[in-house]
Copies of this chain bind each other. A is one copy, B any other.
Amino acid sequence: MKIALAQLNYHIGNFEHNQKHIIHHINLAKEKGADLVVFAELAICGYPPRDFLNYTDFIERCDITAKEIAKHCVGIACILGLPIKNDILEGKDLYNAAYFIEDGNVKVITKKALLPTYDVFDEYRYFEPNDEFKCIMFKGKKIALTICEDLWNINDNPLYVSCPMDELIKEQPDLMINIAASPFNYRHDEDRIQVLSDNAQKYNLPLFYVNQVGAQTEIIFDGGSLVFDEIGEVKAEMKYFEEDLQVFDLDEVQHVKNKYPAAPRAEDIEQIHDALVLGIRDYFKKSGFTKATLGLSGGIDSAIVCALACKALGAENVMAVLMPSKYSSDHSIKDALDLVKNIGCKHEIIEIKEAANAFDSMLAKPFTGLSPNLTEENIQARCRGIILMAMSNKFGYILLNTSNKSECAVGYGTLYGDMCGAIGVIGDVYKTQIFQLARYINKDVEIIPENTIVKPPSAELRPDQKDSDSLPDYGILDEILFHHIELQKGSKAIIAEGYDEALVHRVLKMVTQAEFKRYQTPPILRVSPKAFGMGRRMPIVGKYTP
């Protein structure tokens, strides 16, 4: 039996596009001699559809689209993920399901049992867990079909009290297929291979796994679909961050060595780079925009975002705005212009002095007798925000936010100032990773100016300001933040790791106090196991610092 895995980029709620795209790949798989073509979880509507699922019309459109696609499944069978109605009165109104389609008709409906409800996932918000299990008979083979999380209740800390495969294995299936929407983070590829391999071994069955690819606002799917033999060895590994369709012969997967060689996986920093480029590209493509703008300060954060945007959208579609103030150093302008020259994007220079002075004058009366402080620094950052949004409004550029994860974490940024933007490009990348990203971008030729990389980071909002005036060394800061945010450790546990007690308390307090700011920031492209945004939901007026 020949099985095609179709690793596609879906667009949430864009039924017309998804339908056309799926039908095209059914035909392609048929041309390549596949007996069965497998699409991802919720392929019909894209993942995650969130509260679109609460609209009856949305669910009906999913079914109509699937039935339309079914007509094209002649001479080839197909597995297709979609949400379906739960006809039983008790329980949630929907299932996360898959249609097995043969001879133009839906022959079997498989439903998901384990519903991820943690981090960015909210599946139990919508779906009833399945508790009936049955294999699919196709061409004399018994297929144990599961949906994404259904295979993840294995190893250390099982989140669910049951395992769907423990039920399906009773029917003695010949192979497993798993359809997924498994988002990227730079640690996830290793986990995924391990968990799937453990399943193949545990049930002693070959396993075909198909993932989505592409970004849905902040959530990025990396593809990397996989095939394992029954002893858990990777027999094929599909492309990362790109669409892909490959056909595998079940017999050859089981018996031929090195038939489908796996490409070596990229290092973490290259994965992050590729994910961010895809994240920017899909945000624009899927929202119908082509041009981006951003504030270019001469610092490393905005330089990285500019480089990524040029890679994603083409330098001709990127407008860098330089907005010097009286506190900007000479090298800032020079460094920013060097980048513009290296990269070939458009630029404007707009000094902010006039507006900053206007606000000083307008606020002179209420501020009588008070010294300049953070207020005036924020005014400068907010004047820049106004200019960038004006460029966006006037010319249809989408504003890219350039805040990094270390800043977001400790609140080192101005709300409605440098925290503006439609999408946070590097808000899930720590400052120490930003430097690695700069080196990676410069690996063949200098794009990020060397001086931008080596100079001490500064917000340049007062004379001779340095980040290190207000923040700990980024090396230590990022380690503490990683323990706190990614590993979800409280102060006691972090101090037990050997970090300075006062410093840990100070950092964690800053993180807590910045919660109200983060609530109002743009969605942030997620590349880590724990990004700010939907995946991290903290009270705002709580009184607790973990």
Q: Find out whether the CB atom of B125 lies under 8 angstroms from the CB atom of A542.
A: no
Q: Find out whether the CB atom of B362 lies under 8 angstroms from the CB atom of A283.
A: no
Say how far A47's CB is from chain B's closest CB, in angstroms. Answer: 10
Contact with B along A1-28 (1 / 0, CB 8 A): 0000000000111110100000000000
What are 22 A-B interface contacts by the 8 Å CB criterion? Answer: A11-B541, A12-B544, A14-B542, A14-B543, A54-B488, A57-B491, A117-B117, A128-B161, A217-B539, A217-B541, A350-B365, A355-B358, A366-B391, A366-B394, A370-B394, A373-B393, A375-B390, A378-B390, A379-B390, A382-B386, A415-B420, A520-B521
Interface residues in A276-298 by Cβ distance below 8 A to B read 282-283, 286-287
Q: Find out whether the CB atom of B539 lies under 8 angstroms from the CB atom of A57.
A: no
Q: Find out whether the CB atom of A56 lies under 8 angstroms from the CB atom of B350.
A: no
- A125: chain B residues within 8 A (beta carbon): 117-118, 122, 537
- The residue in chain B whose Cβ has the minimal distance to the Cβ of A490 is B57
A92 interface residue per 8 A CB criterion: yes
- In the complex, A393→B348 CA distance in Å? 30
Which of B118, B389, B544 contacts A52 (CB under 8 A)? B544
Which of B89, B158, B359 contacts A90 (CB under 8 A)? B158
- A367: chain B residues within 8 A (beta carbon): 394
A216 interface residue per 8 A CB criterion: yes
- A89: chain B residues within 8 A (beta carbon): 157-158
- The residue in chain B whose Cβ has the minimal distance to the Cβ of A372 is B394
- In the complex, A52→B117 CA distance in Å? 16
A366/B348 contact (C-beta < 8 A), A160-B90, A522-B519 known: yes
- In the complex, A353→B525 CA distance in Å? 38
Contact with B along A36-70 (1 / 0, CB 8 A): 00000000001011111011111000000000000
A416 interface residue per 8 A CB criterion: yes
Q: Find out whether the CB atom of B543 lies under 8 angstroms from the CB atom of A286.
A: yes
Q: Find out whether the CB atom of A57 lies under 8 angstroms from the CB atom of B393.
A: no
Q: Find out whether the CB atom of B354 lies under 8 angstroms from the CB atom of A362.
A: yes
Contact with B along A366-397 (1 / 0, CB 8 A): 11001001110011001101110111011000
- A51: chain B residues within 8 A (beta carbon): 536-538
Q: Find out whether the CB atom of A52 lies under 8 angstroms from the CB atom of B542.
A: yes
Contact with B along A234-259 (1 / 0, CB 8 A): 00000000000000000000000000
A440 interface residue per 8 A CB criterion: no
A422/B516 contact (C-beta < 8 A), A379-B386, A385-B416 known: yes
A195 interface residue per 8 A CB criterion: no
A363 interface residue per 8 A CB criterion: yes
Q: Find out whether the CB atom of A351 lies under 8 angstroms from the CB atom of B362.
A: yes
Q: Find out whether the CB atom of A541 lies under 8 angstroms from the CB atom of B363.
A: no
A266 interface residue per 8 A CB criterion: no
Q: Find out whether the CB atom of A363 lies under 8 angstroms from the CB atom of B379.
A: no
Main secondary structure of the interface of A (DSSP, over half): loop
Q: 11 other contacts beyond A12-B539, A117-B125, A354-B361, with CB at 8 A cut-off?
A: A11-B542, A50-B539, A57-B492, A91-B159, A216-B542, A352-B362, A359-B387, A378-B389, A416-B420, A519-B523, A520-B521
Contact with B along A152-178 (1 / 0, CB 8 A): 010001111100000000000000000
- The residue in chain B whose Cβ has the minimal distance to the Cβ of A16 is B543
Say how far A292's CB is from chain B's closest CB, in angstroms. Answer: 14
- In the complex, A217→B541 CA distance in Å? 6
Say how far A236's CB is from chain B's closest CB, in angstroms. Answer: 31
A540 interface residue per 8 A CB criterion: yes
10 tightest Cβ-Cβ pairs between the two chains A and B: A13-B544, A12-B542, A57-B490, A14-B543, A55-B546, A375-B393, A358-B358, A13-B542, A355-B358, A416-B416
A534 interface residue per 8 A CB criterion: yes
Q: Find out whether the CB atom of A386 lies under 8 angstroms from the CB atom of B415.
A: no
- A157: chain B residues within 8 A (beta carbon): 89, 93
Say how far A376's CB is from chain B's closest CB, in angstroms. Answer: 8
A124 interface residue per 8 A CB criterion: yes
Interface residues in A71-121 by Cβ distance below 8 A to B read 89-93, 115, 117-118
Q: Find out whether the CB atom of B91 lies under 8 angstroms from the CB atom of A541.
A: no
Say how far A379's CB is from chain B's closest CB, in angstroms. Answer: 6
A357 interface residue per 8 A CB criterion: yes
